[in-house]
Structure 1
Amino acid sequence: MFGTSGIRGEVGDEVTAELALSVGRALAAEGYERVVVGRDVRESGAMLVDALTAGVRECGGDVVDVGIAPTPTVARGVDWLDADAGVVVTASHNPATDNGIKLWSPSGQAFDGERREAIADRVENERYDLESWDGLGTRRHHEGLLERHVETITDTVAGPDTGVESALEGLDVVVDVGNGAGSVTADALVELGASVRTLNAQQDGRFPGRPSEPNAETLADLQQLVGATDADLGVAHDGDGDRMMAVDERGEFVPKDLLLALFARKAATDGTRVAAPVDTSLAVDDTLEHVGASVTRTAVGDVYVAERATEDDVVFGGEPSGAWIWPDETLCPDGPLAACKLAAMAAHEGSLATLVDDLETYPIRRTSIEVDDKAAVMDRVEATVRERDLEVDALDGVRIDHGDGWTLVRPSGTEPVVRITAEARDPERAEALFEDACGIVRDAAEEATPEAE
């Protein structure tokens, strides 16, 4: 029922009011007595929130409804409002046809595997504790959470020795909200003294301005505007504001791994670690090596990065998809916080383009191979590489560390394909590793295909 980012799918098919009702019932029946609920801008969200809150109340739980808000605002609000759990009805960067449900703990961390399994078990087996008429929970609406998020971000970014209103004075930032819920970013930047222009700032769950996911292809308008004006940088969010990507003053999209490296270098000190997924570039490792820090790799998915970020010496967690986590602040990916921290770097440490150009980049190759049986193919791939006595990490797919490069063979979670990635510091070595990995997968796919009678 749960994927790595909660429940997500097409409305009316995978995601229904019946499902939302069941999740609400399961939360209260599992002992979460006070639940903060918010949603992104999708029209279907209102229906799903009504159903979910009805389920919570039907099993005796109380609901604090904060309305439309970014995911990190709701996640932080669980603690701020002294609640036991939080729910965001959102499909994040998915298209308008989709919606979903993501659950949060008071630390700001998404529900871990054990908590997700407990909720799924109650839903699948309809194990609820329905209350009688005089035991039903309440639902009240709460305002002010967006303002508190803005205040928290500005206090964090300005620091104790700088006036909030002048922390980013003279900086010109373009914020592409993507028609989503991420207005907190523009408000916080203005409070910090920056000049702000917005793109796609009107909330519209159809996402007419651009597709919800911010990447090099979807941010063409932002790149053009920043490059054609005197803006110092541009930032962009997905539909619920947990992801953040950036454009430098030249109007060039900042590569995802390099953005991760910038944040990681700023947070890390000698002897600390940064959590990042198995598909993260060597650029992050090499950047951290200069400050005496290292990368600890996780499965792909910000929920796994957040889990690793709970360890004492992990000072930052990032996923190249645009999820950035500062565990001392919150264990939720906080897009508005990331945007303001990046703006502060550009204001005080050199232009964003200069910061990016200072980082090493390496050739990386990617492809996908269609297969009939992903599990069988992956079993054969792992057996093959272990026979070669290579350094293998099977945390998420099969990752091989070659010292001067790495390869990753990983099954898609949604398609009948196996994805192959290879990177090395030398272009010829990257090509050789890539071709070798492709050959291993093709051979495994051929062996896993039953012969026709």
Structure 2
Amino acid sequence: MFGTSGIRGRVGRDVTAELALSVGRAVASEGHDRVVVGRDVRESGSMLVDAVVAGLCECGADALTVGVAATPTIARAIEHLEADAGIVVTASHNPAEDNGIKLWTPSGKAFGPDQRDAIERRCREDAYELADWNGVGDRRHREGVSDHHAGALRSAVDLERDLSVAVDIGNGAGGVTASVLDDLGCHVHTLNGQEDGSFPGRPSEPTADTLETLSTLVASTDAELGIAHDGDADRMLAVDETGTFVPKDALLALFAREAAGEGDRVAAPVDTSLAVDDALAAVGASLTRTRVGDVYVAERTTADDVVFGGEPSGAWIWPSETLCPDGPLAACKLAELVAKRGPLSALIDELEQYPIRRTSIEVEEKAAVMAEVDDRVCERYAEVDTLDGVRVETEDGWFLLRASGTQPLIRVTAEARSAADADALFEEARAVIADAITPNV
């Protein structure tokens, strides 16, 4: 039921009002008595919020609805409103026909594996604690959560000078970014600022291909930076002052280097580039790798010596602020960095970047294939990490073989400090999969 980032799927097929009702019942039955509920801009979200709220109230919990808001806005509101948990109806960067549900703790961290398993078990077994007629919960609407988030963002950064910034909201819920940058004295150009769950301006997921309009705007104006969010603004990606898309691993390395100092650690998943290791080594810090998924990165950032966590997907976590990936906070942090240190293109040029190869291989039985891969790799290589899939370290670089969490695919990634070594490792990794699929041939 849960993937690495909550529940997601096609509305009316995978994600239904019945499912939302069950999740609401399960969250309340797990003892969460006061729950914040909000959603992104998708029209189906209104129906699903109603179902979630009905389930919560039916099992005795009070539902505090906050309407349409960015996911980090809602996650931050849990502690602010003295609630026990939060439920966000969102499919994040997925297309318009999808929706989903993600569950949050008061710290801003998504529900962990044990908490998700408990919810899934109750839904599967219809194991709910329904309240008596006089014990049902209340539904109450709360205003001001966006103002609370905006105030926290303004306090988190200090811009040394005014900037010209282009912000592509992507017709999503991340308008708080443009508002706060304007409050901080920036000249803000806004793209796709009208909330519309059909995402008419561009696909919800910000990528180099979907951000062409943002890139053109930045390149043809005085903008020093371009910011882009997905539908619920938990992600933030960027283009530099020339309109060039900033590679995701480079953005992670830049944030990591700025946040960390001597002896600090940064949390990032197992598919993170060597560029991040090198950037951290230059300031006396180091990388601690996690499973893929922002919940695992967030969990690792609870360690005392971990000062930042990030995923190349565009999820960035400053644990001193919140354990939720906060796209608007990342936007403000990047603006602060450019104002302080100069053009983003020059900052990126300071970082080492290495050739990386990626593909996905469709398989019929991914669990069986991965078990075979694990056996073969552990026999063949000395440096093997099985935290999430199978990651092999060599003198030349590394490769990762990992099963997709939602599709019948094995993800293959390889990176090295030269193109030839990256190609060789990539082919080596592909051969391991081929051997595992046909072990007796």
TM-score, reference length from structure 1: 0.96
Superposition pairs of residues 291-302 of structure 1, within 5 angstroms: 291-302=283-294
Deviations 1:101-141 (A, max 9, x none): 10000111000111111111111111112122211111111
Structure 1 residues 443, 328: CA separation in 2 closer, same or farther (over 3 Å shift)? same
Number of the residue aligned with 1:271: 263
Q: Cα distance, 1:447 vs. partner?
A: 1.8
Does the alignment pair 1:48 with 2:40?
Answer: no
Checking the alignment, whether the CA contact within 8 Å between 2:25 and 2:58 is kept in structure 1 is yes
Q: Cα distance, 1:83 vs. partner?
A: 0.3
- Name the SS of the counterpart of 1:447 in structure 2: coil
- Name the SS of the counterpart of 2:157 in structure 1: helix
Q: Cα distance, 1:314 vs. partner?
A: 0.7
Q: Cα distance, 1:170 vs. partner?
A: 2.6
Number of the residue aligned with 2:86: 86
Checking the alignment, whether the CA contact within 8 Å between 2:3 and 2:406 is kept in structure 1 is no
Number of the residue aligned with 1:251: 243
Deviations 1:116-169 (A, max 9, x none): 1111111111111212221111111111110111111011112xxxxxxxx364
Number of the residue aligned with 1:24: 24
Give the letter aligned to residue 314 of structure 1: V
Checking the alignment, whether the CA contact within 8 Å between 1:168 and 1:194 is kept in structure 2 is no
Number of the residue aligned with 1:151: 151
Checking the alignment, whether the CA contact within 8 Å between 1:189 and 1:340 is kept in structure 2 is yes
Checking the alignment, whether the CA contact within 8 Å between 1:8 and 1:91 is kept in structure 2 is yes
Gaps of 5+ in 1: 159-166
Deviations 1:175-214 (A, max 9, x none): 0000000011001101111010100000000001000001
Q: Distance in 1 between matches of 2:52 and 2:130?
A: 14
Gaps of 5+ in 2: none
Which stretch shows the higher mean deviation, 378-387 or 325-334?
A: 378-387
Does the alignment pair 1:177 with 2:207?
Answer: no
- Name the SS of the counterpart of 1:359 in structure 2: coil
Which stretch shows the higher mean deviation, 118-127 or 80-89?
A: 118-127
Structure 1 residue aligned with 2:338, among 321, 346, 363?
A: 346
Aligned residues between the structures: 441
Q: Cα distance, 1:426 vs. partner?
A: 1.9
Q: Distance in 2 between matches of 1:280 and 1:255?
A: 12
Deviations 1:53-88 (A, max 9, x none): 011111111111100000001101100000000010
Q: Cα distance, 1:368 vs. partner?
A: 2.2
Superposition pairs of residues 18-417 of structure 1, within 5 angstroms: 18-158=18-158, 167=159, 169-417=161-409
Checking the alignment, whether the CA contact within 8 Å between 1:68 and 1:181 is kept in structure 2 is yes
Checking the alignment, whether the CA contact within 8 Å between 2:381 and 2:392 is kept in structure 1 is no
Q: Identity of counterpart residues, as a percentage?
A: 65
- Name the SS of the counterpart of 2:188 in structure 1: strand
Q: Cα distance, 1:369 vs. partner?
A: 2.2
Q: Distance in 1 between matches of 2:100 and 2:91?
A: 5
TM-score, reference length from structure 2: 0.98
Q: Distance in 2 between matches of 1:339 and 1:83?
A: 27
Q: Distance in 1 between matches of 2:308 and 2:132?
A: 46
Checking the alignment, whether the CA contact within 8 Å between 1:373 and 1:448 is kept in structure 2 is no
Q: Distance in 1 between matches of 2:290 and 2:197?
A: 32
Give the letter aligned to residue 439 of structure 2: E
Q: Cα distance, 1:362 vs. partner?
A: 0.6
Q: Cα distance, 1:23 vs. partner?
A: 0.8
- Name the SS of the counterpart of 2:439 in structure 1: helix
Q: Cα distance, 1:425 vs. partner?
A: 0.8
CA root-mean-square deviation: 1.1
Deviations 1:267-322 (A, max 9, x none): 10111111001111000000000011111111111111111111111110000000
